[in-house]
Amino acid sequence: MAQTSDGMTFKDAIVLVSSDGTTYKDISGFGASVAVDEGERATPEQHTFEGDTPIVLAGKRAQTKVTVRYVYTDATSDAFDEIEDMYATEGGEIHLKYSPKGGQWFTASPAIIKKPGYPGGDAKADAVVMCEFVIACSELTRSAASS
pTM score, two decimals? 0.87
Residue 147 has pLDDT above 70, yes or no: no
- Measured from the Cβ of residue 62, the count of other Cβ atoms closer than 10 Å reads 14
The three-point CA angle 119-120-121 to 5° equals 135
- CA 84 to chain CA centroid, Å, is 16
Answer whether 83's CB lies under 8 Å from 113's CB.
yes
* DSSP tag of 37: E
Question: What pLDDT score does 126 carry?
Answer: 82
CA-to-CA distance for 39 and 42, rounded, in angstroms?
Answer: 9
Write out pLDDT tens, residues 69-128: 999 998 878 899 999 999 999 899 999 999 998 889 999 989 999 999 899 888 877 889
Please determine, for residue 50, whether its predicted confidence score (pLDDT) is greater than 60: yes
CA distance 59 to 141: 20
